[in-house]
Amino acid sequence: MQQNWLDIQSFFTDQRVLAAIDDLAIATKFELAGINDAERAQLAARARAELSQFLRRLADAAAAAQEGKIAGIDPRFKELIDAYRSARNDRSNFRSALMRLGADKAAHLLQATDKRTKRELLESLDELRQIVERHQQTDISAILEEI
C-alpha cells in the first residue's frame, strides 16, 4: 500500500506542475499576441511561484545526485531527477535554455519580459512538460497496475 500511496502522491505533484506549465505557457502566448487578460495574468503569477519552487527543488536535487550525495528522497522524485538529467545530456532532442543552462540558471526565464526571452521560456516549458508527462505516465501505469 505504501508504494501505491507514493505513486498517487507523485501523480498529483506532477499534475500541479503540469497545470502551472499550462497556465504560464498560455499567459505567455497571450502576451506575445498582445492580448491582456487579467485572469490569465493572475494564473501566470501563481504558476511562476509554483514553477520557481519546483525548479529550485529540481536543481538542488540534480546537483546532489551529480555529486552522489542524494539520500532520503522520494524514489519517484529521484526518477524524475534522473529523467531531467538524462534530457539535459540529450542535446539532439532537448535544446531549450532550461536544458542548456540547468534549472537553477534558467529560472530567470520565468520573469521574461521581452519577446525573445518569452519564446525561450515557451521552449523550456515545452521540454519540461515532456519530461513531467513521461514521468506521470509511469505513475499512472503503476497506479493502475496495483488496482
Q: Residue 51: CB partners within 8 Å, gap ≥ 6?
A: 17, 20, 21, 24, 110
Tens of pLDDT, residue by residue over 58-104, are: 999 999 888 877 777 788 899 999 999 999 999 999 999 999 999 99
pLDDT of residue 147: 61
pLDDT at site 5? 79
Average pLDDT of the chain, as a whole number: 92
The whole-number pLDDT of residue 132 equals: 97
Sequence ranges of the domains in the chain? 2-145
* pLDDT score recorded for residue 146: 67
135 Cβ neighbours under 8 A, 6+ residues apart = 10, 14, 76, 79, 80, 83
From the CB of residue 61, how many other CB atoms can be counted at a distance below 10 Å? 20
